[in-house]
Amino acid sequence: MKSYRVGDRFEIVEDDKGKWEWRGWIGFNNIERGKCFVEGNILFISEKGSTLERGVTKEDFEGHLKSLPQWTKTKYYCPSYTLHICETGRRSSR
């Protein structure tokens, strides 16, 4: 398994079979996970996920994200139908 960070919100995990999932901190010290996929130059991240882990603080999750390499497989990511630039996390104007 390989993990990457997208902006300051998401961890993207690739399993041994080439499938992708996202993980993110959702408040109340919970980590949520969901499905994602790549189409062209866009990483699509599903809006809803399921709780993966409890008892993780936001600071711990952010520290974990900082230790991961930056996602570079696509230029854009799309959480809930808004394109963002992977490198900066900013919304795309295109």
pLDDT category at 10 given cuts 50, 70, 90 is very high
Q: How far apart are CA 74 and CA 4, in angstroms?
A: 12
Q: Which is it for the CA torsion 50, 53, 59, 65, positive or negative?
A: negative
Q: CA 83 from chain center: how many Å?
A: 13
| Contact yes or no for 10/21 (Cβ under 8 A) | no
Query: What is the predicted pLDDT for the residue at 7?
Result: 86
pLDDT-above-70 percentage for the chain: 97
- Break the chain into its structural domains and give their ranges: 2-85
pLDDT digits (tens, 9 = 90+) for 56-93: 899 999 999 999 999 999 999 988 767 788 888 888 76
6, 32, 38, 55, 94 from 87: Cα distances, Å: 7, 22, 16, 29, 15
Query: What is the predicted pLDDT for the residue at 93?
Result: 65
Q: Is the pTM of this model over 0.85?
A: no
Query: What is the predicted pLDDT for the residue at 84?
Result: 82
